[in-house]
Amino acid sequence: MNVRAHIIVRGMVQGVGFRWFTAREAQKLGLAGFVRNLAEGSVEVEAEGERGAVEGLIALLKVGPRAADVRDVHITWQQPLMERMRFEIR
């Protein structure tokens, strides 16, 4: 079953390779969507695909790359769009 999650990751998540980490892991899991930095210092992720794969990405985002310090991950589950074919960095 496909799902879509809108995720906001807060903490020390910019300038530490977080977007590249997220894109690489999402691509490995076969997910579509995007990752981008937000002006206030958090990272926004939208991931769509098999529920288990999306949940796997969320588990990885809670840890992040080595240099990151993840303090909070907020997840909003949404209806899948099925419009995207790949995962991109914005």
State yes or no: is 37 an active-site residue. Answer: yes
Catalytic residue, candidates 37, 71, 84, 90: 37
State yes or no: is 2 an active-site residue. Answer: no
Q: How far is 80 from 89, CA to CA, in rounded Å? A: 19
Interacting residues of 13 by C-beta distance below 8 A, sequence separation 6+: 41, 42, 43, 64, 68, 69, 70
Residues designated catalytic: 19, 37
